[in-house]
Amino acid sequence: MNMEQEAKEHQNTDQRIVRRRREFKIVIGALIVLVMAIIIFLAGMVVGRLQDRFNSHRMMVNGGINGQQVRGQVSQSGMSGTPFGTPGMLGGANSQRSMANANGAQGTITTVNKDNLIVNGNNGVSDTIIVTSSTVIRQKTPGAQDLKITDLHSGETITVLGDPNSQGQIVAKYIGVQ
């Protein structure tokens, strides 16, 4: 090979190296942009779920949006817009109760006793609500004071959140009075 051909070959090799470096930088840049987009998307999903959980909890505690129950809307976290979901999911003796309703009730007080309430639910099922010293009873109005079981009366509409006991009664953690 003569000197001219070697110089031309060397110049072509340099151009290929520069081209490959440029292509490599473009591929790395595209990968960085893709990874950043995925991270931003996942961060948005996490923030959305946290906001949804907060809003769902606030709706249950405050009795809905502006005091109005929201029916039939299911949030990202799987919680229904009403605190107690769709009827007929438990089966057995309580087949008229929903899955979430196993931990709460909503309806009209029919009987007030010393440590329990009987509530005729919106789904037609009567529930016994056990009220303990740690149960929070609150009127669903801004700035309302906590109430006692003696402040409750037949005919009032309430929302109860709690845990079922072995007798199928609900041990109330929170009672919201409308």
pTM: 0.45
Question: CA quadruple 65, 136, 108, 166: dihedral positive or negative?
Answer: positive
In tens, the pLDDT along 76-85 reads 334 444 444 3
What is the reported pLDDT for 93?
39
User: CA 138, CA 127: separation in Å to the nearest integer?
Assistant: 19
Q: What is the DSSP string of 135-165?
A: -EEEESSTTPPEE-GGG--TT-EEEEEEEE-
What is the reported pLDDT for 144?
78
In tens, the pLDDT along 93-135 reads 343 444 444 578 889 999 999 999 999 987 788 889 999 999 9
Q: The domain 102-177 is classified under which CATH number: 2.40.50.140, 3.40.50.1220, 3.40.50.300, 3.90.550.10?
A: 2.40.50.140
Amino acid at 160: V
What is the reported pLDDT for 13?
86
Q: Where are the domains of the chain?
A: 1-82, 102-177
Q: Which of 113, 88, 105 is nearest to 163 (CA)?
A: 105
What is the reported pLDDT for 166?
87
In tens, the pLDDT along 47-100 reads 888 877 766 655 555 554 444 444 443 333 344 444 443 333 333 334 344 444
What is the reported pLDDT for 97?
41
What is the reported pLDDT for 101?
45
Q: Which of 118, 120, 142, 122 is nearest to 131 (CA)?
A: 118
